[in-house]
Amino acid sequence: MKSRGRVTLQTIAREVGLSKYAVSRSLSGKSGVSEETRERIRQTAERLGYSKPANQAASGDIAVVFHDLDPVNSELYMQIQNGVQAEAHRLGMGLRLLWTHSQGQLEELARTCAGLLLVGPHDREAIRAAMATGTPIIRFGWVDPLEDADQVSGTDHEAGQAVIQYLIDLGHRSIAYVYGVPGYRGRRERFYGAREIAERYQGVTLHVLQFEEENGFAEAYRGLKDKGDRPTAFFCAHDGLALTVVSELLGQGYRIPDDVSVVGFGDFSPAKQISPALTTVRMEGQECGAVGLRLLLERIENPRQPGTPARRVHVVSRIVERRSTGPCKATAHPGDRSAPRQEPRIVSV
């Protein structure tokens, strides 16, 4: 039975519960949809009385482009990939997956694809050249302040706030932020968030441990102890750093969490494999991937008009509490926000 009024790709998409992109690819005979889905779309189009416009252009592919020289975030990238692919499967569509850091390749992809999902620290000039083509692009990763770019990201700043609040509520007053190698934007944002919360409490000391060499934590921590400072909790900017901290502290005879608490960031696979299992922050990379694909499809189906703002979509992280954290035995009482405010010490080592 034919429906009343003009039947469009969007009409069919609503009827079958898929994206307009998937419907377009199916009806134009392109790859990326299963035969079962293609047949369901064909039958629905026929039932609704759809007539393909003679000048309708075929849709291009969607490409997910990972920066291939960022080993620190490789597990997060895999989570994002899983999220994008799961969402694409749900929508009955295919994807192109690429790993590159080639500047010219991004612009070429933008000219031949319907949309791009960019994951990682791609070259700024390459991104600008790709965006100049007018192809919709969604970024996973950091953008410049007020940059006119659509972005999907986690909540690094809020996560830093939440972890320090969590540790303060456990009674910890001397906390070390294990920064590791300086320069990573996410690690800075976590520290800024942690510092904001520490500044609200009197008597809270936030130490900062930065080091570049592989065995740098032991030396940095030794320098802290030589000054008479002994943190009761360590907030590590990455789970990999947390594994180093746990190993070193256990080797020095500390009991975790009886003597010190350790919190990581990322909730990557080793966090559950060490003993004690690591309290950490889950970044929800898979959800980021799914959200990014949905936002890209929306931009493809409803192109952004000149003058309309870019979007920032934050997928909220969460603390996963395991056995590496516990109440501070020395000062096991919650912070008092009503107490007269004193300037906290921010100590860099």
pLDDT score recorded for residue 183 = 80
pTM for this predicted structure: 0.79
Q: Token pair of 121, please?
A: 């620290």
Calpha distance 213→209 (Å, rounded): 12
pLDDT in tens, 162-194: 999 999 999 999 999 999 887 889 999 999 999
What is the arrangement of strands in the sheet containing 261-263, beginning at the earlier edge strand?
261-263, 233-236, 174-180, 205-210, 345-348
How confident is the model over 69-76, as a mean pLDDT? 82
Structural element, H or E, at residue 48: helix 35-48
Residue 349 · residue 208 · CB < 8 Å: yes
At 52, the pLDDT band (50, 70, 90 cuts) reads low
pLDDT in tens, 230-277: 999 999 999 999 999 999 999 999 999 999 999 999 999 999 999 999
Q: What is the pLDDT of residue 345?
A: 45
Q: What is the pLDDT of residue 334?
A: 34
pLDDT > 70 in the chain, percent: 88
Q: What are the beta bridge partners of residue 151?
A: 139, 312
Pairing of the two strands 113-119 and 345-348 = unpaired
pLDDT in tens, 275-300: 999 999 999 999 999 999 999 999 98
User: What is the rounded average pLDDT of the residues 91-110?
Assistant: 87
CA 66, 70, 71, 74 torsion-angle sign:
negative
Q: What's the pLDDT band for 58 if we cut at 50, 70, 90?
A: very low
Task: Return mean pLDDT, the chain.
Answer: 86
Choose the weakest-confidence range: 122-126, 227-231, 343-347. 343-347
pLDDT at 5: 60
Residue matched to tokens 């390459």:
126
